Amino acid sequence: MTSPAELRAAEWYRALLRNAVHGWLVLEPQQWRVVEYSERAAELLQLTPEEVQHTALPEFRRVYRLLQREPASAIRTELHLSLPNGGTVTLEVRARLFAHEQQHYLWVALLEETDAQLITERLVLTDKLALLGQLLAGIVHEIRNPLSAIQLNLQLLQQALPENSPERTAAELALTGARRIGELVDSTLSFARSSGQCICRQDVHELLEQAIQLLQTLFYRKNIQLHRDYAPELPPIYADARQLQQALVNLLTNAAEAIPEHGTVRLRTELDTAETPPMVVITIEDNGVGIAAEDLERIFEPFFTRKPNGTGLGLPIARRIIAQHRGRLLIQSTPGLGTRCIVRLPVAGREDAAGDSCADARG
């Protein structure tokens, strides 16, 4: 006999399961009928709850067979399901077997495409990045010493060879290549390095001018006009000058590289007092080639580049540095018209002054 209390409990659990936020089904592996389901599953199958109960889903046979070989495992796969209304849906499913009163059932979770795709993509990316980080840190370290030796010896060789000889040109080319590897190694290291900052009050305009100074030849070579529209009185920010300069250099380099020849880079600074703390806003705008919409989603991925000699590290590094300064980096772009990078950094507060730490703690 089932007591009223037990009945109520059974109803409660059934209601819970039916109303689960996830789509799930239980199938019996003879007729492939749905024996239990959540309402979300019905929605995903584009069926009413009544229809679900009378639906057979023989497409799960393949999953079942796979699971029979390894009963303890769970399988994740994509399935094309034919629906009673003649339509089809493609869903990513996760399934496992379970036994109850000597009967096997298939327990199926329907993963919504967006969830499933987004989550796996992000997980795969995070996993990959973590792994890459470890690998790189190791490799980069191992590369540095032999690379210094290569550079030094190539330099000696180059100097020993007669000027204008093909051998000297070859040595020069090799040296250029070695220097490029060195740059790559350094930028990778600075990306991997996250701590040991040297933080002081900084004038944003000074930081910008120093960054521009570093890039003068690039701007000159490309005939790029610089327009400055600086706010007359901008409060200082609290920053690691070297790091923030690096972020600005990366953004300015991209702006210059986006301009085929003859173009304009506009620099604007302003204070946004709508936020607490107020934000210094730096806008770097170029009228270069712009970024395609599908690329815009990927530009912050390490190693994403559209340039034959690009590293794909400029923007991820810039973003990371700005985030470490409690700031934000936003990039807007219209293909063919140009790109705007907006850097927002909090104004130095009184409490920051106490923590000035200009002793260089870098490792």
What is the Cα–Cα distance from 83 to 88, expressed in whole angstroms?
A: 5
* Cβ 259 to ligand ADP shortest distance, Å: 8
Q: Which does 288 bind (CB under 5 to 8 A by kind): Mg ion, ligand ADP, none?
A: ligand ADP
Q: Are 238 and 348 in contact (CB under 8 A)?
A: yes
Encoding tokens for residue 3?
A: 């007591």
β-bridge pairing 200-202 and 224-229: unpaired
For the CB of residue 341, give the shortest distance to ligand ADP in the complex, in Å: 7
CB of 340 to ligand ADP, least distance (A): 8
Burial class (CB in 10 A: 0-12, 13-18, 19+), 205: middle
Nearest CB to Mg ion, comparing residues 230 and 304: 304
Task: Give alpha helix (H) positions in the chain.
Answer: 4-18, 39-44, 49-53, 61-69, 113-160, 166-192, 204-214, 216-221, 241-258, 293-296, 314-324, 350-354
Contacted entry of ligand ADP, Mg ion, none for residue 311, CB cut-off 5 to 8 Å set by kind: ligand ADP
Q: How far is the CB of 286 from Mg ion (least distance, A)?
A: 12
Residue 312 interface partner, choices ligand ADP, Mg ion, none, CB cut-off 5-8 Å depending on type:
ligand ADP
Q: Please say whether the beta carbons of 196 and 172 come within 8 A.
A: no
Cis peptide before 49 (omega within 30 of 0): no
Partner that binds at residue 304, options ligand ADP, Mg ion, none, CB closer than 5 to 8 Å by kind: ligand ADP
Judged by beta carbon, residue 314 or residue 327, the one nearer Mg ion is 314
| Residue 287 interface partner, choices ligand ADP, Mg ion, none, CB cut-off 5-8 Å depending on type | none
The binding site for Mg ion (CB under 5 A) comprises 254, 314
Q: Which is nearer to Mg ion, 314 or 346 (CB)?
A: 314
Q: How far apart are CA 313 and CA 331, in angstroms?
A: 15
Using the minimum distance from each CB to Mg ion, give the nearer residue, 171 or 291.
Answer: 291
Nearer to ligand ADP, 237 or 258 (CB): 258
**Which residue has its beta carbon closest to Mg ion?**
314
d(CA 8, CA 127): 45
Query: Which residue is nearest to ligand ADP, using beta carbons?
Result: 314
Q: Name the residue nearer to ligand ADP (CB basis): 101 or 261.
A: 261
Q: Which is nearer to ligand ADP, 53 or 264 (CB)?
A: 264
Smallest separation (angstroms) from Mg ion to the CB of 319: 12
Nearer to Mg ion, 27 or 341 (CB): 341
Decide which of Mg ion, ligand ADP, none touches 339; Cβ closer than 5 to 8 Å per partner kind: ligand ADP
Rounded Cα gap, residues 246 and 252, in angstroms? 10
Q: How far is the CB of 333 from Mg ion (least distance, A)?
A: 14
Binding site for ligand ADP (CB under 6 A): 250, 254-255, 258, 286, 288-291, 295, 299, 304-307, 310-315, 339
Minimum gap (Å) between residue 183 Cβ and ligand ADP: 11
Closest distance to ligand ADP from the beta carbon of 361 (Å): 27
Q: Which amino acid is at 222?
A: K
Identity (one letter) of the amino acid at 334?
T
Q: Which residues pair with 266 in a beta bridge?
A: 227, 285
Q: Is the dihedral of CA 29, 34, 38, 40 positive or negative?
A: positive
Got the DSSP string for 283-318? EEEE-SS---HHHHTTTTSTT---STT--S-HHHHH
